[in-house]
């Protein structure tokens, strides 16, 4: 990450603090300046504590800054030239500061999103900009501010991870402040704070780094369907249902006029639900509007003027329920406008699968899921949490590489988790997060990220940079070795999987409650092997041998203590008679079970209903274990989980398949984004950075498919089909490649190729 260089006299600026303890605070900042001519280039450097919305001459340009943490405050660069005009101009910034956890009120009425890593300094702004002979920088130019008194905040228990929603008094908002060239009398000069300079090695608060990822998209065009009257009579009650027809993450804008004394309640929801018991809800076909619409709720009280209400952050929804109670004067409503926002995830993959029409639908659903789970970080879900969890993120990163080759978000995620490391050497399981949380096994998935990144990009500097962190994680696990030579008593949240069999113990393997868990040790052994290969990549083979030796020791002990000859399976612990799909899969992935043994184990995984089943997120590893056992053809039936999404009218992949999911958008299930390029078409790097490529189609049950896949070395085109017992493949590859045919033969190709073989 690159430190942001700002001149010594550019300062953070703030305001007089509120006296009511530690509320969520919002402040309006602005500066006015005059231009003779509009410059062709005008870049503004800007950051804030905690969140800002930037306006230039009344035009909303960007929400920021890029999400960081206590060590990394990011500074955005924004081009504003197109928004400037000859004459007087206004740069205005609305800044909202969420409180840190230690300052949270008992009722959490001031509780911000968990991903918000704010401090207790209140609303702060820093701007650096010089253009057209004018300097608009904070610390140099005249900036003014006004504290907000319009917004109250209410915790949303339906999605408490997201903190509070808004209750806004329209009469108290300084409407038009963002475009008015005059400085109103209730705006005061800002308070000068500190600079961004390191002096005597002392790091200032909110020390700035350059934004490491692209700005979020802001796209118009998504329209809400539903009845929407233009005028509501006085002293009435009204309710309207609006349907976006697809899940969206959008900034919401509600223009209105008049209606003093009215209230407008906006409920945002992914779907209608039917209640079954105290905490159990069923979701049917998503276009079904019977049942209840429960969701995050904003309330706006119009001030009676010509106004536009917009929440401070985007909302996630398919449906919006609008409830209006008018006062003594009528209320005029304009249609709600949506500006969809997400990371600019360009899809450069093209394919044609005429024999399997479901593939196109599942691909589109999966791609949209990944898009909506990417903003300023990867997110487990955009509605409930917007938190970056390691196990989820590793999968999202792999899906992301394949679509377009942009690796900046992946690198930021790797660095985020590195930054999260606790003094004892373990990483936090979600980060950035104001609530530190540790799921030990998730740190091992971070190690998998390192190897993935190197294979996709060929950038060995990332392995060099984060090797010490990798070694700290493995040393932490090593210290957890018990008397039987296996890791145990990991502490924190010893999570394994969200599966019904373990729901009463929050997803932990039952074996881990009393001793070693086979799952934990299998994943640890796998991570040791990945780490050894990373050290080999760094020409540190002797160090890698240490990890390989430890891995062999663990696998030997698992084989001796956990293998059940009677069951032909691995039990969940040395003396714990429970069996899961997870332990069997990881045994195959570790190579402890090979050949016929691996096939027998995976056959049991698919057929033995007594095994604790995997959840949706574990299907990636299920597919990998079947592939490792030479049984990829068995994945054909597993796709029924995704095909069922089409019948439910889902536009995204839910957290779990079926009707009892919490979230309707969880990118850990966007598996086809990996399987189609890597296994249907069979294209993957066989050496780092795609210096050499392997083409090895696995999903022969499709009958044929063609596609065009981007790589850092250029696009790879592949088309294969099966006709009359003959497998035919042709295509183009930009670098030397190995084409593996179903008969096991390997062919060295480069450029155009055409091959075939007999197939049973």
- Cα-based angle 697, 701, 703 (whole degrees, multiple of 5): 80
Helix 408-419 vs helix 460-478: crossing angle, to nearest 10? 30
Lowest mean pLDDT among 97-101, 161-165, 583-587: 97-101
Residue 249 lies in a domain: yes
Assess whether 44 and 187 both reside in one domain.
Answer: yes
**Sorting pLDDT into bands at 50, 70 and 90, what band is 760?**
confident
Return the closest-CA partner of residue 163 out of 95, 200, 239, 108: 108
pLDDT at 5 over 90: no
Residue 19, pLDDT above cutoff 70? no
- Total count of domains within the chain: 3
- Alpha-carbon 579 to chain mean position: 32
Provide the CATH number for the domain around residue 703.
2.60.420.10
DSSP letter string, 248-264: EEEEEEEEEEE-TT-EE
> What pLDDT is recorded for position 628?
98
The tens digit of pLDDT for each residue in 522-547 reads 999 999 999 999 999 999 999 999 99
Phi first, then psi, for residue 731 (nearest 5°) are: 170, -165
Q: Is there a domain that residue 433 lies in?
A: no
Task: Give the pLDDT of residue 518.
Answer: 97
Statement to judge: residues 282 and 308 lie in one domain: yes
- Please identify, among 213, 244, 264, the residue that sits at the C-terminal boundary of a domain: 213
Do 183 and 318 sit in the same domain of this protein? no
Does residue 101 have a pLDDT over 80? Answer: no
Average pLDDT over residues 490-504: 92
- Among 556-565, 650-659, 722-731, name the one with the lowest average pLDDT: 650-659
Q: Please give the average per-residue pLDDT across 243-252, as a whole number.
A: 98
Judged against a pLDDT cut of 80, whether residue 730 lies above it is answered with: yes
SS3 content of the chain, % helix, strand, coil (to 5): 30, 30, 40
Instruction: Find the range with the poorest average confidence among 36-45, 195-204, 534-543.
Output: 195-204
Indicate whether 98 and 246 sit together in one domain.
no
Q: Is residue 296 part of a domain?
A: yes
**Do 319 and 248 belong together in one domain?**
yes
Q: What is the pLDDT, as a whole number, of residue 106?
A: 74
At 277 the pLDDT is 79
Does the residue 120 lie in any domain? yes
Is residue 235 located within the same domain as residue 175?
no
Across 686-700, average pLDDT: 97
Three-state DSSP state, 427: coil
Tokens of 120: 């207790």
Domain membership of residue 25 (yes or no) is: yes
Share of the chain above pLDDT 70, in %: 99
Residue 562 lies in a domain: no
- Report pLDDT for 22: 57
The answer on 311 and 192 residing in a single domain is no
Tally of residues, the chain: 760
Task: State yes or no: pLDDT of 301 exceeds 60.
Answer: yes
Q: What pLDDT, on a 0 to 100 scale, did the predictor assign at position 21?
A: 56
| Among candidate residues 281, 316, 342, the one where a domain is terminated | 342
Name the residue with higher pLDDT: 100 or 532: 532
Average pLDDT over every residue of 720-737: 97
Query: Containing domain of residue 700, as a range?
Result: 693-758
Indicate whether 31 and 175 sit together in one domain. yes
The per-residue pLDDT for 107 is 74
Residue 185 has pLDDT above 60, yes or no: yes
- Report if residue 4 sits inside a domain: no
Residue 453, pLDDT above cutoff 90: yes
Which of 342, 367, 382 is where one domain is finished?
A: 342
pLDDT of residue 689 exceeding 60: yes
> Would the pTM of this model clear 0.75, i.e. be above it?
yes
> Does any domain span residue 545?
no
What average pLDDT does this structure show over 616-627?
95
Percentage of the chain lying above the pLDDT 90 cut: 88
Summarize the confidence of residues 403-426 as an average pLDDT: 96
Predicted confidence (pLDDT) per residue in 466-481, tens digit: 999 999 999 999 999 9
If asked whether residues 206 and 136 sit together in one domain, one would say yes
Mean per-residue pLDDT over the chain, rounded: 95
Whether residue 243 is found in the same domain as residue 183? no
| CA distances, 473 to each of 236, 378, 497, 647, 742 (Å) | 62, 22, 21, 43, 40
The reply to whether 238 and 89 lie within a common domain is no
Q: Is 185 found in the same domain as 46? A: yes
Q: Per-residue confidence at 18, pLDDT binned at 50, 70, 90?
A: low
Q: What is the CATH number of the domain that holds 303?
A: 2.60.120.260
- Direct distance between the N- and C-terminal alpha carbons of the chain, in angstroms, rounded to an integer: 53
107-132 average pLDDT score? 89
pLDDT of residue 280: 84
């Amino acid at each position: 990450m690159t430190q942001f260089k700002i001149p010594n006299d550019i300062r953070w600026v703030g305001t007089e603090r509120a006296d009511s303890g530690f509320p969520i605070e919002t402040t309006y900042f602005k500066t006015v300046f005059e231009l003779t001519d509009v410059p062709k280039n005008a870049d503004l450097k800007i950051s804030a504590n905690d969140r800002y919305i930037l306006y230039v001459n009344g035009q909303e340009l960007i929400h920021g800054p890029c999400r960081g943490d206590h060590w990394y405050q990011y500074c955005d660069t924004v081009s504003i030239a197109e928004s400037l005009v000859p004459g007087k101009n206004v740069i205005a910034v609305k800044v909202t500061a969420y409180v840190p956890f230690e300052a949270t009120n008992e009722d959490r009425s001031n509780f911000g999103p968990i991903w918000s890593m704010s401090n207790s300094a209140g609303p702060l702004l820093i701007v650096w900009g010089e253009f057209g002979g004018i300097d608009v920088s904070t610390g140099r130019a005249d900036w003014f501010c006004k504290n907000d008194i319009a917004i109250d905040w209410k915790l949303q228990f339906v999605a408490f991870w997201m903190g509070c929603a808004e209750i806004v008094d329209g009469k108290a908002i300084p409407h038009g402040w963002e475009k008015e060239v005059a400085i109103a009398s209730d705006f005061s000069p800002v308070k000068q704070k500190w600079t961004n300079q390191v002096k005597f090695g002392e790091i200032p608060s909110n020390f700035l780094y350059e934004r490491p990822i692209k700005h979020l998209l802001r796209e118009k065009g998504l329209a809400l369907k539903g009845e929407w009257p233009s005028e509501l009579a006085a002293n009435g009650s009204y309710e309207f249902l609006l349907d976006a027809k697809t899940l969206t993450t959008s900034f919401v804008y509600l223009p209105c006029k008049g209606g003093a004394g009215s209230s407008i309640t906006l409920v945002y929801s992914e779907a209608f639900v039917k209640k079954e018991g105290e905490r159990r809800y069923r979701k049917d076909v998503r276009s079904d509007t019977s049942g209840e619409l429960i969701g995050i709720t904003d309330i706006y009280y119009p001030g009676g003027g010509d106004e536009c209400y917009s929440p401070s952050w985007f909302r996630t929804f398919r449906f919006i329920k609008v409830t209006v109670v008018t006062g003594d004067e009528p209320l005029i409503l304009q249609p709600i406008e949506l500006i969809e926002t997400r990371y600019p995830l360009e899809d450069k993959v093209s394919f044609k699968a005429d024999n399997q029409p479901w593939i196109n639908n599942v691909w589109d659903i999966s791609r949209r899921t990944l898009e909506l789970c990417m903003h300023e970080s990867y997110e487990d879900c955009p509605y409930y949490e917007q938190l970056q969890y390691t196990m989820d993120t590793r999968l999202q990163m792999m899906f992301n590489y394949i679509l377009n080759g942009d690796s900046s978000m992946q690198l930021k995620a790797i660095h985020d988790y590195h930054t999260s490391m606790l003094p004892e050497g373990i990483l936090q399981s979600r980060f950035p997060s104001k609530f530190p949380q540790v799921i030990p096994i998730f740190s091992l998935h971070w190690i998998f990220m390192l190897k993935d990144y190197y294979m996709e990009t060929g950038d060995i500097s990332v392995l060099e940079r984060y090797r010490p962190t990798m070694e700290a994680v493995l040393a932490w696990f090593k210290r957890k070795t018990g008397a039987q030579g296996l890791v145990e008593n990991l502490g924190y949240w010893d999570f394994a999987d969200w599966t019904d069999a373990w729901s009463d113990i929050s997803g932990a393997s039952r074996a881990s409650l009393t001793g070693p868990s086979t799952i934990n040790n299998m994943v640890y052994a796998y991570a040791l092997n990945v780490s050894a290969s990373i050290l080999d990549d760094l020409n540190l083979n002797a160090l890698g041998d240490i990890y390989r030796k430890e891995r062999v020791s663990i696998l030997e002990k698992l084989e001796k203590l956990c293998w059940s000859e009677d069951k032909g399976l691995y039990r969940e612990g040395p003396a714990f008679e429970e069996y899961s799909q997870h332990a069997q899969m990881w045994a195959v992935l570790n190579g402890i079970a090979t050949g016929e043994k691996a096939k027998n184990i995976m056959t049991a995984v698919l057929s033995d209903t007594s095994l604790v089943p995997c959840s949706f997120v574990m299907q990636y590893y299920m597919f990998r274990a079947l592939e490792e056992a030479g049984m990829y053809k068995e994945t054909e039936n597993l796709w029924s989980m995704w095909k069922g999404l089409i019948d439910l009218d889902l536009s995204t992949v839910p957290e779990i398949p079926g009707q009892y999911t919490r979230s309707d958008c969880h990118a850990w299930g966007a598996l086809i984004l990996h399987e189609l390029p890597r296994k249907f078409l069979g294209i993957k790097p066989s050496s780092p950075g795609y210096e050499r490529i392997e083409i090895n189609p696995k999903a022969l049950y499709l009958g044929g498919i063609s596609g065009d896949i981007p790589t850092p070395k250029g696009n790879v085109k592949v088309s294969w089909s099966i006709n009359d017992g003959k497998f035919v493949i042709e295509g183009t590859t930009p670098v030397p490649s190995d084409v593996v045919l179903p008969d096991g033969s390997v062919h060295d190709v480069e450029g155009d190729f055409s091959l075939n073989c007999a197939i049973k």
